[in-house]
Amino acid sequence: MESVTTPRELPPLILHPFDKRLDRDAASESSDLDPFIPPHLQQRYAEFRMLCLIGKDLDRWLSQCVDLASRESALAGFSESNFILLLLFSPPLTFLHKMRSWSIKNYQIIFSRAIGLNAVFPHPPAARDLSEAFLRKFHKYADALYDARLNSEYSANTLEDRFTFEVYASGEYASSLAKSWGEWTGGSLV
C-alpha cells in the first residue's frame, strides 16, 4: 500500500471519568459490594470495574476507526487490530504528551487489559456475578483476552505515521467543542 504523506485524522479518543460514571449496575454496586466481595478483593473489583469502563471508551473509538476505514477505499484492509496496535505502540506524539500530563506511566498495560476485558464485558458486571478466583487473577484473564482480540483479525498493513488523533477527557472535549462552535457561530451559541 502506498505511503500517506500527510497523516489522516482519526476520530478523537474520548475518555470519560470512571469514578463518577453511571452504568446499568452502578446503583446496586455501591450498596451491594460489601456482602458479595471479601474486603481483601474489593480493591481488585474496583480495578476490574475501572478497566471495563475504560474498555467501553476504547471500544467506541476502535469501532469509529474501523467504520472510517470501511468507508474509504484508500483504507481497505485496515482492521481493528491495526488500530489497536496504533493506539498502543505507534500513537502520535500529542497522545504521548497527554498521557504524561495525566501522569499515566504505562498506558499500554491499562489499555490492553481494558481492550481484552471489553471483549467479554461490554458493561462491568455486578460484583455478585464474578467469582473470587476470577477477581484474584483477572489481570491474567485480561491479558489473554487482549491477545485473542488482537489476533482475531490479520492485517499486514502498518499504520505508523499514517494517522493522527487526539485524546481528551470528556469534559475537556466538551469545552473544546463549545469553543469551536462559538468561533463558528461568531461567538454566539444561540
Boundaries of every domain in the chain: 8-17+40-179
Q: What is the per-residue pLDDT for 190?
A: 43
- Grid cell, residue 106, equals 504505562
Average pLDDT, the chain: 81
Phi/psi for 166 (5° steps) reads -105, 155
For the cut 60, the answer to whether the pLDDT of residue 69 exceeds it is: yes
| pLDDT of 98 above 70 | yes
Q: How confident is the model at residue 156 (pLDDT cuts 50, 70, 90)?
A: low
Rounded Cα distance between 84 and 79, Å, is 9
Task: Report the SS3 class of residue 51.
Answer: helix
Q: Is the pLDDT of residue 150 over 80?
A: yes
User: What is the pLDDT at residue 185?
Assistant: 46
Q: Identify whether the C-beta of residue 126 lies closer than 8 Å to the C-beta of residue 32.
A: yes
Which of 24-28, 47-51, 62-66 is least confident? 24-28
| Residue 5 or 162, more confident | 162
Q: Output the pLDDT for position 172.
A: 63
Helix or strand holding residue 147 (H, E): helix 138-150
Fill in the DSSP letter of residue 40. G
Q: Which range in 31-35, 75-79, 89-93 is most confidently predicted, on average pLDDT?
A: 89-93
The answer to whether residue 22 scores a pLDDT higher than 70 is: no
Indicate the pTM of the whole model: 0.80
